[in-house]
Amino acid sequence: MSQIIEALDILTPENKQEDQCSVKTTAEQNTGKARKLYIESYGCQMNFSDSEIVTSIMQKEGFDTTDSFEKADVIFLNTCSIREKAEQTVRKRLGQFNTLKEEKPELLVGVLGCMAERLKSQLLEEEQIVDLVAGPDAYRDLPNLVQQVDEGTKSVNTFLSREETYADINPVRLNSNGVTAFISIMRGCDNMCSFCVVPFTRGRERSRDPHSIVREAQDLFDRGYREVTLLGQNVDSYKWSSNSELKGKAQSERARETDIVNFANLLEMVAQVHPDLRIRFSTSHPKDITDEVLHTMKRYENICKYIHLPAQSGNTRVLELMNRTYSREWYIDRVDAIRRILGEDCGISSDMIAGFSTETEEEHQETLTLMDYVQYDFSYMFYYSERPGTLAARKYEDNIPLDVKKRRLREIIEKQQAISLKRNQRDVGKTFKVLVEGFSKRSDDDLQGRNSANKVIVFPKKHYHKGQYVKVQVHDCTAATLLGEIVE
């Protein structure tokens, strides 16, 4: 499951939780339309991508967008349920909007996304200022739901679809740097990890028409974008057929050869849009990533050599409790395949959960030894947070004391910081092709971009600008960032 944290951040338990609730808002667009829409998006990149779809739908219905909620006629919060902290943040934000609604009674406030799907009408009952609730598959219905509220009735649609992919909707790029963009290739999840709410909030897995994906990638390239990230809860299980009646084992051999597009095929199709369009993807599942995908990555220079491969734990028994459907040994085999096919410089990152139900100290140590073996470039690290409605909440006692969870997480973070520094030190003296994404966070005298392995590199801007490819020689590093100079 993909987490939205800026690449290469190595985080403490406290600010990690805050970043999991990180927010992106709509940009200002004023074309003289009667009403203004403001969206705050929380959680994963799928949510941010969904907000771009929502904006496209609402703009066609007569809305401009604003970057200030005080100017808005309609406020949408696109929410996340992956952690309790995320839901608490949204509830607190709704409380802050209450004063605004008292001053502006005609203001419409809606809750979208995973939290809306999970809590449904409960939000309308408990949060008095909420007028509208819409789940991730109900965004086409938003204009109708808004109209119902305008007519004096609170509205809700949390229907989960088995077909909806929004493939025909051209997303409005929000807060875009004009260089990188996300393309949703599938929706939902069938994996049923015991700790995760996503299958319940986003529904069953379905893949988007590959030709619409290629068209979107081509359009982005033509508009000056130079990197796309293909998004899905589990991209490696992407599978599309031109014949909707062909299902699973009922498919003929000829159908498999001519009608089925798998993830490796899709990667190749998007890579062929243009050699200067970089391709990334997230997230891979260890049970599904294939050698075919890895060989496709090797074959195309513009498919970035970076894989987010969440382990969650280094112990097989804990992985079984998590219903991850692979063992420690299987995971190591997949890592070995990555190193064998793509080389030692391929970037690998992970998600790690500390203190899952019944995890022993010895099992926690196996997570640390897995980290030593894989040598992740960076990781997204959490302590276990039980989520209502999940299999784990129903079957397992959340019996690891909070102080133990925090201590184990601290050990995981310290381990990752040391490994990240070591991995970055290997790059000192090397030269990388970097796509300039904009100014560095600290100074407008410097630019930053990422190399193929998804490592952030900061370098003096000279006469270069975002959207260009440059060659940068690394001369120094921290655990989070490479520092270098452009090689003319």
Bridge partners (DSSP) listed for residue 183 = 230
How high is the pLDDT of residue 26? 62
What integer pLDDT is reported at residue 30 of this predicted model?
A: 63
The mean per-residue pLDDT over the stretch 374-378 comes to: 98
Q: What average pLDDT score do residues 19-37 get?
A: 64
Per residue in 349-371, pLDDT (tens digit) is 999 999 999 999 999 999 999 99
Give the residue-averaged pLDDT of 263-283. 98
How far is Cα 409 from Cα 400, in angstroms, rounded to an integer? 12
Smallest CA-to-CA distance from 198 within 98, 81, 79 is with 81
Res 310: pLDDT: 98
The average confidence (pLDDT) of the chain is 89
> Looking at residue 258, what is its pLDDT?
52
Domain 13-157: assigned CATH number: 3.40.50.12160
Which of 215, 282, 206, 202 lies closest to 238 in space, CA to CA?
206
Domain ranges of the chain: 13-157, 180-239+251-425, 431-486
Angle in degrees, 0-180, between the axes of helices 328-342 and 361-374, rounded to the nearest 10? 10
| Averaged pLDDT, 290-310 | 98
Look up the CATH number of domain 180-239+251-425.
3.80.30.20
Kindly state the percentage of the chain with pLDDT values over 90: 76
**What residues form DSSP beta bridges with 180?**
227
pLDDT at residue 25, rounded to an integer: 63
Which pLDDT does position 243 carry in this prediction?
Answer: 73
What is the fold, at CATH topology level, of the domain defined by 431-486?
A: OB fold (Dihydrolipoamide Acetyltransferase, E2P) (2.40.50)
Task: Specify the amino acid at residue 472.
Answer: V
